[in-house]
Amino acid sequence: MKRIHIIGRKNHGKTTLVVDLVKELSRRGLKIGTIKHTHHQHELDTPGKDSHRHRLAGSACVGILSPSMNACFWPVDQEGESRYAVFDTHFSDCDLLLVEGDTQTSADRIEVWRAAVGGDPLASQDTSIAAIVADAGSLTDLPIPMLNRADLAGVANWICHRLDIQPNGS
């Protein structure tokens, strides 16, 4: 599964970039999956609901099926990169998986950085970050590709080239 992570500090525009990339890459005929990674420990199911009660009773995995959406909840039993493998079957027909977050991954990472928000780019301390997406005029002199946030097509092109993804129909 081809996967790239969109990382960055809080309020630098990670979610906005992921949403914009999903739209742009989907427009090109690609099927895109997304995962939101969080380092916070919080309950994803709704406490008190039947599915949550099933888990509390000892169910190893709880699924929810509705006419319009499906979900599955299970406890984390793997660490590191192998945690993404559990999603392989669900995303197997996707051309690309965009992950918002997870600065510790060994997969390719693009940092979203906005000088106006403050702080140095994470890439100034982490040389394994593949590229930075920043506002025009706030690009840094780091020795990695600097992608202009206003040029969404250029960012999408860079990702496709980096991961050797061909838009459908080309």
Per-residue pLDDT of 2-46, as tens digits, reads 999 999 999 999 999 999 999 999 999 999 999 998 876 777 788
Give the model's pLDDT for residue 90.
Answer: 86
pTM of the predicted structure, to 2 decimals:
0.87
**Percentage, residues of the chain above pLDDT 70:** 94
Locate all alpha helices (DSSP H) within 58-151, ordered by sequence.
none
CB 128 within 8 A of CB 115: no
Taking CA 99 as the corner, what is the angle to CA 28 and CA 42, rounded to the nearest 5 degrees? 140
Give the model's pLDDT for residue 168.
Answer: 75
Q: What is the mean pLDDT of each run of 10 residues along the chain (170 residues)?
A: 95 97 98 88 81 90 89 76 81 96 94 91 94 83 92 98 83
Give the model's pLDDT for residue 129.
Answer: 97
Give the model's pLDDT for residue 6.
Answer: 98
State which fold the 3-39+82-163 domain adopts.
Answer: Rossmann fold (3.40.50)
Q: What is the dihedral of CA 55, 60, 66, 68, to 10 degrees?
A: 120
Which residue in 86, 85, 89, 82 sits closest to 73, CA to CA?
Answer: 86
